[in-house]
Amino acid sequence: MGAGAQGDAAGASARAYAISVAAPGQSGSSAGSVAAPPDAVAVGGSFSYATDGGGVTTGAITASATARADATAGTAEASSEVQSLSLFGGEVTVGRVAAHVRGQAGAKGGSGDLSGSAVEAMVVLGQGIVATLVGSIGLIAAVPATTALAALLALHLPERQLRREQLHAHAH
């Protein structure tokens, strides 16, 4: 799930996607992808991506992107929301995930914010996680959350696939 916005002196653009799955050695999938300009909205029902380890399922998904620019400034905004996210056959569930990004740029500088971004009703291995992530707290918390999700994914991948992925790892 993600949202991004970019503004510069030449114009503004925004892109949002409700969900995107990238799994080692598999084709992956995504849903609810939009880009602006022009302004765009995507609304969808459920999403499903099956794997041996349980995959990903969701309830309703939405995404939107807007971008505006004039001779002196640009503004871009992107948001996405996923209801009822389930990972690894229910080992990780989230009631609602929302990402909202807004960026502005002009001759005197730029700014941006993540107001309205949230993770609600998260349960990992049967244990409730109290979390409403807003602003930089969300970014800080995303690192351990993605590390935990990667560890869970590793538990569900065949050992030979993990070895193959390790052989292909390299630093940039």
**pLDDT reading at 151 higher than 70:** no
* pLDDT on residue 24: 78
For residue 61, give the nearest of 18, 108, 11, 114 by alpha carbon. Answer: 18
Residue 132: the pLDDT is: 43
pTM over 0.85? The answer is: no
Q: Which of 48-52, 117-121, 127-131, 139-143 is predicted least confidently?
A: 139-143
- What pLDDT digit, counting tens, does each position of 102-129 carry? 888 888 888 888 888 888 888 888 888 7
CA-CA distances (angstroms) from residue 133 to 54, 114, 137? Answer: 26, 10, 6
Does the pLDDT at position 20 exceed 80?
Answer: yes
Q: Quote the pLDDT of residue 152.
A: 53
pLDDT at 148: 52
Compute the distance between CA of residue 29 and CA of residue 15 in angstroms, rounded to an integer.
Answer: 17
Output 123-127 pairs: Cβ under 8 A, ≥24 positions apart.
123/92, 123/93, 123/94, 124/91, 124/92, 124/148, 125/91, 125/92
Average pLDDT over the chain, rounded to an integer: 76
